[in-house]
Amino acid sequence: MTGQATLTLRLDDSWGLINPNLYGHFIEHLGRCIEEGIWVGPESSIPNTEGLRNDTVAAFKALNPPVLRWPGGCFADLYHWEDGIGPRERRPRRVNAWWYKEEDNHFGTDEFLQFCRLTGAEPYICGNVGSGSPREMMNWVEYCNYGGDSHYARLRAQYGHPEPYGVKYWGVGNENWGCGGAYDPECYAREYRRYALYLRRLDPSLQLIACGHTTRDWNLRFLETLGRLDLLDHLSIHRYYGCGHETEFTDQEYYDLYLRALQVDADIRRTEELLSFFGQGRFIGLVVDEWGVWHPQAKNPDGLYQQNTLRDALVAASVLDVFNRWAAKVTMANLAQTVNVLQCVIQTEGAKMWLTPTYHVFSLYRPHQGATSLRVDLECDSVAVRNPEGREASLPVLSASASRHGERGELTLTVTNRHLTEPQEVAVRLRGEAALGEGRQWVLTAEDVRMVNRAEQPEAVVPTGSPFPPGKAEFTLVLPPKSLTTLVVPLR
Ligand code: AHR
């Protein structure tokens, strides 16, 4: 059987400009994310540039990563940044008390900023509130950004970087309601105000990000106590989700995972309402600086390593559709975590490196970065699912995003057919524009939604491309089951 659907693409109605940072990433000193996944050291037999492995750099760069968050995560609130600068042999070896490993501090601020430079990502540094101080974080900003002749600017020059790095995004702590100090919202608001006051004074160009919660009550109490809303540029929330085993899930669990992930839509709505209310006309961005699937198999002794199936990738596409719809409010989102941890885009095993199905989703959504998010109206079948509270619900079989890139004169349409067995025939109608030039189409699918890429079979799940013929403003797409289709066409 083939499902029938219609997709109306409104070229005359937009959801706002898609901040490229919605396609951001996140790395932490956890498991094999940085150690092995990114950093192997200059002496390694794995080909590297100043200790950063070349294969990871090249693969990550190809995604056009707009922004990269570091050093955590929970690790951020026990990281003392001065441990990670200067000659490596003199850097202290510390206990990473959050993830129960030792930290040699060989990958520190300069190495992180070099990785950003090589891959084109804008750095986003998360400071230490839980076990740090405003003074310590100010010194870090001074080291990264100050252009004068101060102690930390001299130190940076001494370590080989006379020019300031100009790091714009700074997080004031991470999950401060939990691993970042177990604060109540009132206490964290006072701490945040103190940090932000001095950081802003030192460098008014900083974009400051407070760490919020997914519950309305926590954020409300934080914003009420903060008072000085002028000190807040963005508020962040995190959303992780899971349903069943990483690879041996049931068909029902496949569908149910979508609803768990799509909770992010309600998270954004709840938080955005508060930010609009408290901002009183001043725009405060909403950041989802950790998100992704977290399977029960990802545990700390294994550094939160998990398998990445086609299911995870297709669900991520639906989350990206939510972000694109909220383009006017969401200023950044960071998938957790880039290499070897949770929903990574890259996996490594010694000298071997390969790409996960989620990598390909990010690659197929790349043309949306910086484009205008267009309104999409969908009429399609639904499947029966259980919502996270266990109640019956329904899930539309299709999810889509569309955008128009003015400069490139290009239209991008990404459509997921979530149905496990039925292809969907979609009548696409463009409202408000004439014809389409010759474009390209890619399809990401696999025989089984449980398939993963592995070292010995790195291309089990990869997209296939084909030309898309020029045509009119109405056409039909046939979407295979459990697939993502991306269409990139010039507008004429
Ligand atoms: O990404 C793993 C952990 O999840 C992060 O360290 C923390 O912020 C979150 O709870």
**Residue 136 DSSP SS3:** helix
Q: In this structure, what CATH number is given to the domain that contains residue 454?
A: 2.60.40.1180
Nearest protein Cα to ligand 1, atom 9: 73
Residues annotated catalytic, as ranges: 175, 290
CA–CA separation, 257 and 482 (whole Å): 14
Structure tokens at 35: 């150690």
Residue with tokens 């349409």: 413
If you write DSSP's letter for every residue of 50-107 in order, what string do you get? TTEEHHHHHHHHHT---EEEES-SGGGGG--GGGGSS-GGGSPPEEETTTTEEE---S
Pair 200, 249 in one domain: yes
Pair 167, 248 in one domain: yes
Q: List phi, psi (to 5°) of 34.
A: -85, -55
- Cα angle at 386 between 239 and 238, to 5 degrees? 5
Pair 342, 417 in one domain: no
Cβ neighbour number for residue 162 with a 10 Å cutoff: 11
CA–CA separation, 179 and 417 (whole Å): 38
Instruction: State the DSSP code for 167.
Output: -
**pLDDT of res. 433:** 65
CA–CA separation, 108 and 88 (whole Å): 9
Domain that holds residue 449: 3-12+374-490
Pair 305, 442 in one domain: no
CA dihedral 128, 97, 356, 361 (to 10 degrees): -30
Give me the residues paired with residue 378 across strands: 7
Q: Which atom of ligand 1 is nearest to the CA of 72?
A: 6
CA of 202 to the centre of ligand 1 (A): 29
Pick from 314, 349, 369: which residue ends a domain? 369
Pick from 369, 388, 420: which residue ends a domain? 369
Cβ neighbour number for residue 212 with a 10 Å cutoff: 28
**pLDDT of res. 205:** 96
Q: In this structure, what CATH number is given to the domain that contains residue 283?
A: 3.20.20.80
**Residue 275 DSSP SS3:** helix
- Nearest to residue 466, comparing CAs of 492, 445, 486? 486
State whether the beta carbon of 290 lies less than 6 angstroms from ligand 1.
yes
Q: Side chain identity at 113, as an amino acid letter?
A: L
Pair 220, 86 in one domain: yes
Pick from 336, 369, 402: which residue ends a domain? 369
Pair 441, 484 in one domain: yes
Structure tokens at 48: 């590297």
Q: Given ligand 1 and candidates 240, 295, 339, 341, which is best to mutate, with the most ligand atoms within 8 Å of its CB?
A: 240
Pair 345, 422 in one domain: no
Pair 250, 161 in one domain: yes
Pair 91, 8 in one domain: no
Pair 169, 200 in one domain: yes
If you write DSSP's letter for every residue of 217-270 in order, what string do you get? HHHHHHHHHH--GGG-SEEEEEEEE--S-SSS--HHHHHHHHHHHTHHHHHHHH
Pair 8, 50 in one domain: no
CA–CA separation, 115 and 49 (whole Å): 9
CB 126, CB 70: distance < 8 Å: yes
Contacts of 380 (CB under 8 A, 6+ apart): 3, 5, 6, 396, 397, 398, 424, 426
Q: For every one of its 492 residues, what pLDDT tens digit does the chain have, with 9 covering 90 and above?
A: 788 999 999 988 999 999 999 999 999 999 999 999 999 999 999 999 999 999 999 999 999 999 999 999 999 999 999 999 999 999 999 999 999 899 999 999 999 999 999 999 999 999 999 999 999 999 999 999 999 999 999 999 999 999 999 999 999 999 999 999 999 999 999 999 999 999 999 999 999 999 999 899 999 999 999 999 999 999 999 999 999 999 999 999 999 999 999 999 999 999 999 999 999 999 999 999 999 999 999 999 899 999 999 999 999 999 999 999 999 999 999 999 999 999 999 999 999 999 999 999 999 999 999 999 999 999 999 999 988 888 899 999 999 999 999 877 899 999 999 999 999 999 999 987 667 899 999 999 999 999 999 999 999 999 999 999 988 788 999 999 999 999 999 988
How many domains does the structure of the chain reveal? 2
pTM over cut 0.95: yes
Pair 300, 414 in one domain: no
Q: Given ligand 1 and candidates 174, 338, 344, which is best to mutate, with the most ligand atoms within 8 Å of its CB?
A: 174
CA of 109 to the centre of ligand 1 (A): 20
In the chain, % helix, strand, coil (3-state, to 5) comes to 30, 30, 40
